[in-house]
Structure 1
Amino acid sequence: MRYRKLSEYLKEKYGERVQRIVIFGGFSCPNRDGTKGKGGCIYCDATGSGFTTLMKLPIREQVVRLKEKYEKRGIKKFIAYFQAFSNTYAPVEELRKKYEEALIDESIVQLSVSTRPDLVSESVLDLLEEFKERVDVSIELGLQTANYKTLEKINRGHTLAEFIDAAVRVKRRRIELIVHVILNLPWDDMIDVIETAKILSALDVDGVKIHSLYVVEGTKLAEMYKRGEIKICSLEEYVNRVIVFLEHLSPNVVIHRLVADPPREGTIFGNWGKSKIEIINTIEREMERRNSYQGKKFVYLNR
């Protein structure tokens, strides 16, 4: 195995296959409502990447329906994953109520919460520690890139320092930490890709979700793309960036994904017209051809 796959990690941890149930919690984002900015990140669609959720249903009903669907396939253990927008952007009591709604029975073995680095207060971490007494807990932070200038260009509304601060405090609480990165942002080069891998390794993050940049109608990125202000790298370049990133990443980090899942509707550009599995297979074949593997160049930390 040339990289540490999520599916294998979950089987090791829980003894069998585990399915993520994607939940829409009804949250917003301070980078959209005017608190930090308006319009959100330049690539963020109207659903906040929640286009796969049953967003019109109450939280409990979303979990029940999806759980029943997956149980028909023989799956018995699940992760309640709050995905869309910023899932810690509410008073703690409201967060507690929403998270509780998702834990419908003992088949939910993990609570997973996706949010922004600037929305990880100590009170939020206190709450997540409470839930740790009943289920496993993980938190997903969007970083996207270690290049602070690119963070400004994509209108993230936070800096690299805020991400590092949040990551350190999450790890201090022994909460599993997964980080999202986009490896083919138009303003980044291979140095940025490598530096992102190095910083995540130095912070001892537990997992990484690698995304490919896609362009969705109605976003600022779509306007820039149509005007020819940005160019998205070739598939060959993306594959190369993923492999180099993995080579510089700690071998302990679990890889949750290698490529994004663009929305089925409204996508102007997504994954070079290829399916997700095609790109994954391409990456794996190229890693084999190069005799590449995760952590191959992980020699830069004094540990």
Structure 2
Amino acid sequence: MNYLKYSAYLKEKYGEKVYKIPINLPGTCPNRDGACGTGGCAFCGESGAGFEAQSSILPVREQLKRNIEVISPKYKANKFIAYFQNYTGTYMELSTFQKTVNEALIESVVGVSISTRPDYVGEPYLEVLDKIKEKGIDVEIELGLQSININTLNRINRGHGLAEFIEAVTRIKRHGFTICAHLIGNLPWDTEADFIEAGRIMSVLGIDSLKIHSLYILEGTEMGKWYKEGAFNIIDPETYIDRVIYFLRCIDPNIAIQRLFARGPEAETLFCNWGMSWRRLQNQLDAKMIAENYKQGDLYKIGGGN
């Protein structure tokens, strides 16, 4: 493969296939309830990112058990990462956070992944995860960023800037945890230069893996309202594929790629992947990289260090 897929990264790390299991927790986000903002991100639906997971009313271990029973025979995986996916994974009482994460430490789990905001990664929560790591469980923090452009971040009501992201990365790295960053590759207010520079910044910061999302738009969101009003344009799929390929060529070849296209909840979706399956778009991107012999990192150069 012409770029480092997360599945290959995990297989190299653990010596066998490892699958990431989503865990859905009841809760909310500080950008919804007034702690740091109201209304939430302009693109975020009421279910957050947990629409592909089990019901949030189920205990953590029950969610893991049910998913493993399906995934293990289907994908021939025996090791798993417990992925606390929905809303802001560190936005709960510290004692609740500690109890919740420890509930995921069943025998086949080799790692935990906590999805959260860069402005809500408090040291006490990282210290809880230090204790998890001491048990031989790997810890990954997923940080939503979406864009490096402060004007875009303000437009989509993120409630933080690039500075908060950099500060969070610096502190998390001190604890020795791996970091996955989330970016949206085709936000209407970002240029291609914004997106490419975001990749270069991720490389300089030593981000371990990336999730690149193609924008999907949900009914009932602020962005859904703008979309129906025709307030912005979305680049075509060919341009998006070319943009993502250029992005991959400009980043550190050691960054693992967890995702390049988004998947949205069908019943609520106004726009997702230009009406095509993410797999079809993924295959087009892979085929073009192979045909043109493009490689992740073949254009990567930062300053005088290289």
The code of the aligned residue for 1:158 comes to H
Tell me what 2:9 maps to: 9
Give deviations 1:133-157, integer Å, cap 9, x for gaps.
1211100000111111111111000
Residues 1-303 of structure 1: pairs in structure 2 closer than 5 A: 1-55=1-55, 56-73=57-74, 74-103=76-105, 105-134=106-135, 135-303=137-305
Distance 1:301 1:51 in 2: 42
Counterpart contact for 2:148–2:161, Cα < 8 Å: no
Pairwise CA RMSD: 1.1
Distance 1:274 1:48 in 2: 22
2:82 is paired with a residue of what secondary structure?
strand
2:115 is paired with a residue of what secondary structure?
strand
Distance 1:255 1:143 in 2: 16
Compute the TM-score of the two structures, normalised by the length of structure 2.
0.96
The 4+ residue runs of structure 1 with deviation greater than 3 A are: none
* Residue 91 of structure 1, CA deviation: 2.2
Give deviations 1:49-70, integer Å, cap 9, x for gaps.
1101112312221111111122
Counterpart contact for 2:31–2:158, Cα < 8 Å: yes
1:71 is paired with a residue of what secondary structure?
helix
Counterpart contact for 1:202–1:301, Cα < 8 Å: no
- Structure 1 unmatched ranges of 5 or more: none
* Residue 211 of structure 1, CA deviation: 0.3
Q: Which of 160-169 and 285-294 deviates more?
A: 285-294
- Structure 2 unmatched ranges of 5 or more: none
* Residue 172 of structure 1, CA deviation: 1.8
Compute the TM-score of the two structures, normalised by the length of structure 1.
0.97
Distance 1:3 1:172 in 2: 28
Percent identical = 47
* Residue 301 of structure 1, CA deviation: 3.7
Distance 2:108 2:69 in 1: 11
2:225 is paired with a residue of what secondary structure?
helix
1:256 is paired with a residue of what secondary structure?
strand
